Amino acid sequence: MSTPTKFNLADTVALLSRTPATLDALLRGMPDLWAQSNEGNGTWSAFDIVGHLIAGERADWMPRLRIILKDGEARPFDPFDRFAQSRESQGKSLEQLLDEFARLRKESLAELEALNLQPPDFTRRGRHPALGPVTASQLIATWAVHDLTHLHQLSRVLAHQYRDAVGPWSAYLGVLKCVGHSAP
């Protein structure tokens, strides 16, 4: 049960397709304490995280897959702007962002399905500007784990708001000991 598993497209789509509804169930209508608070200067709130996932749908996942299938390693991916959301989310409500993310994810997955990728396609290569050669399956797996990285971050950001409120129980609550692990 514990061996990290090989890539499977249907399993990956099962996860990718559930992320918008998961975030919707957790965040729609949430009080500002949870929706807008972050972990300190320069860190992200729930609102920022949903904005970042939207930016990924627009500029990262399917655009990079298209580059792999069209140009292979000949054309490196465009670097991904991890801060695009601060401009693009401006003036929107969290509910608007949740709707936008759900719509874009649905479009991305419809395009992925229409590609009708077969196992030999999964080993096709592209070139990441910093990481070097990567395969189509690594890109699609990363898309799913990127969702999970931000669900992980989101649970930590929310928990942070009650760091003091839990009193001595903080000793037992693993999420309060997570210091974040993403590369800068």
Minimal distance, residue 17 CB to a second copy, in Å? 10
Cβ–Cβ < 8 Å for 51, 98: no
| DSSP string over 63-105 | HHHHHHHHHGGGSPPPPP-TTHHHHHTTT--HHHHHHHHHHHH
- Kindly indicate which of the ranges 50-58, 61-69, 113-121, 159-167 contains the residues binding a second copy, using the contact rule CB under 8 A: 159-167
Of all helices (H) and strands (E), which one includes residue 132?
Answer: strand 132-135
- Kindly indicate which of the ranges 66-74, 93-101, 107-115, 169-177 contains the residues binding a second copy, using the contact rule CB under 8 A: 169-177
Residue with Cβ nearer a second copy (86 or 135): 135
Residue with Cβ nearer a second copy (96 or 123): 123
Hey, which residues between 74 and 113 contact a second copy (CB under 8 A)? none
Residue with Cβ nearer a second copy (116 or 182): 182
When asked if residue 43 is in the footprint of a second copy (CB under 8 A), the reply is yes
x/- contact string, 9-38, with a second copy (CB under 8 A)? -xxx-xx--xx-xx-xxx--xxx-xx-xxx
> What are the C-alpha distances in Å from 95 to residues 20, 36, 38, 99, 106?
12, 12, 18, 6, 17
